[in-house]
Amino acid sequence: MTEIWEMTASRIAADVRAKRLSAVQVTEAHLDRLAKVNPAINAVVQEFPEEALDAARQIDAAIAKGEDPGPLCGVPVTIKVNVDQKGHATTNGLRLQEALVATEDSPVVSNVRKAGGIIVGRTNTPAFSLRWFTKNDLHGQTLNPRNREITPGGSSGGAAAAVAAGICAIGHGTDIAGSVRYPAYACGLHGLRPTPGRIPASNSSGPDRFIGAQLMAVSGPIARSMPDLEIAFAAMSAPDPRDPWYVPAAQGGADFPRRAALALAPDGMEVTGDVRAALLDGADRLRDAGWTVEEVDCPPMRRAAGINACLWMAETQFGAAEMLAREGEADSQFVFARMSEDAGQVGFRSLMEALQARAGILRQWQLFLSDFPVVLCPVSGELPFDQQLDVSSKAAFARVFEAQLTQRAIPAIGVPALSIATGDANGRPVGVQLVGPRYREDILLAAGGDIEARGRPILVANPEWS
């Protein structure tokens, strides 16, 4: 018998809407699961069970009156601690922000509630949401429920660990350099990075971010099935006037050619045999579904990653360097130093040149994606890394940084991307990444569904270590 906490979000929403389950039953089951497994993995770092149950009772009351609560009807969701949720601290993994309690919900949280989602907890992130690993001095380290020896990813590692362990059906994450896509990959899940402007963003607890984050940072869902990503994306992307970058684009678009480009090693990045095998398997699955797949070189990734570094480090060097020093968290300081070395000291001229170069790269990618509406490429050049590998030495950081080339490049290009779990290799999850045209997440979800349908369903992990 399937436990309630093993169900997909789509099934939960259907069962609650049809009164086969109550939202309270579903919420209680997930809160019980949280109490059982979260002590082992430390994915959820802020809990509020009575608040969650009260929200569930409101969903049940709405259904009793004949109302439809929305696409996330009774679905348990977690929210990352770097976005505002009324009454809770927006810590971003920082001791400095432990008492920064939000007075209103961010747009994405408002949209989850309006869609009938039940927020069952808030999830961990590395300090400053700066790493592909999840550990900080305030909340501690998050472990991967599929394998405690490897990273759960970052910066949305808590979100992915919670979804993988059955604490929630949908995890909210944010992504400026892979922070949705990589945790999904590391925890054997699916994760969608939408087009910038798709999901409205605003944190009233702090000042607006600088231009790099305004252009590249997004929220996105992590889930165990492609239909779950679809309903979560639809819910999260409802309009909100607080975000001046919001684009009211349609959820779907015109018909598209079922044609995909296979980029096994974009810009010459090193790719392990296991990653290459996963890409070839993904290509075979697309072909089996009727897609034409051609192995071709894609437009620049490495220059795009350099632009990402310039824009991101301009923001961090200008706006967060003093906070990094005051927080005094050794791991984030090490990573910031390495990233600053890579980007160099960003000044007015380098920032302007990066913005200028970005326009040309976007043009190349838009032209390429008009011929190939899907690009199949690595999520990472390696299988998920050992815990804390990035801060173990300068050489190890350089290895991690290079393996994450596509994670860093795609946000600068301004297009959506989808990380899809396809199985495991040598005891670690593995998957592939799809890239598509702006505002055409529907193409990625369609192709992702074809890949998912030709693999095994994603199961909930049981972290049974002591």
What's the domain range around 64? 4-453
1 has a pLDDT exceeding 60: yes
Q: Is the dihedral of CA 220, 224, 226, 230 positive or negative?
A: negative
Q: Kindly report the number of other CB atoms within 10 A of residue 393's CB atom.
A: 11
Catalytic residues: 80, 155, 179
Helix axes 226-236, 107-114, angle to 10 degrees: 110
343 has a pLDDT exceeding 80: yes
466 has a pLDDT exceeding 70: no
pLDDT at 316: 80
Percentage with pLDDT > 90 across the chain: 95
pTM: 0.98
The CA distance from 31 to 308, in Å, is 38
CATH of the domain at 58: 3.90.1300.10
pLDDT digits (tens, 9 = 90+) for 156-186: 999 999 999 999 999 999 999 999 999 999 9
Whether residue 465 lies inside any domain: the answer is: no
- Are 72 and 55 in contact, with CB atoms under 8 Å apart? no
pLDDT at 18: 98
The CA distance from 326 to 137, in Å, is 13
What is the average pLDDT value for the chain, to the nearest integer?
Answer: 97
The CA distance from 151 to 143, in Å, is 7
The CA distance from 144 to 151, in Å, is 6
Which class for 33: exposed (0-12), middle (13-18), buried (19 or more C-beta within 10 A)?
buried
Whether residue 208 lies inside any domain: the answer is: yes
Whether residue 82 lies inside any domain: the answer is: yes
pLDDT bucket at 57, cuts 50 / 70 / 90: very high
344 has a pLDDT exceeding 90: no
pLDDT bucket at 5, cuts 50 / 70 / 90: very high
User: How many structural domains compose the chain?
Assistant: 1
108 has a pLDDT exceeding 90: yes
139-153, 330-344, 360-374: which has the minimum mean pLDDT? Answer: 330-344
pLDDT bucket at 191, cuts 50 / 70 / 90: very high
354 has a pLDDT exceeding 70: yes
Which is nearest to 355 in space by CA: 415, 306, 317, 318? Answer: 306
465 has a pLDDT exceeding 80: no
pLDDT at 453: 98
Whether residue 462 lies inside any domain: the answer is: no
- Give the side-chain half-sphere CA count within 13 A for 253: 16
313 has a pLDDT exceeding 90: no
Whether residue 320 lies inside any domain: the answer is: yes
pLDDT bucket at 403, cuts 50 / 70 / 90: very high
What is the length of the chain? 466
Q: Which residues contact 246 (CB under 8 A, 6 or more apart)?
A: 197, 200, 239, 240
Whether residue 162 lies inside any domain: the answer is: yes
pLDDT at 314: 84
Whether residue 464 lies inside any domain: the answer is: no
Whether residue 458 lies inside any domain: the answer is: no
The CA distance from 230 to 243, in Å, is 22
pLDDT digits (tens, 9 = 90+) for 404-442: 999 999 999 999 999 999 999 999 999 999 999 999 999
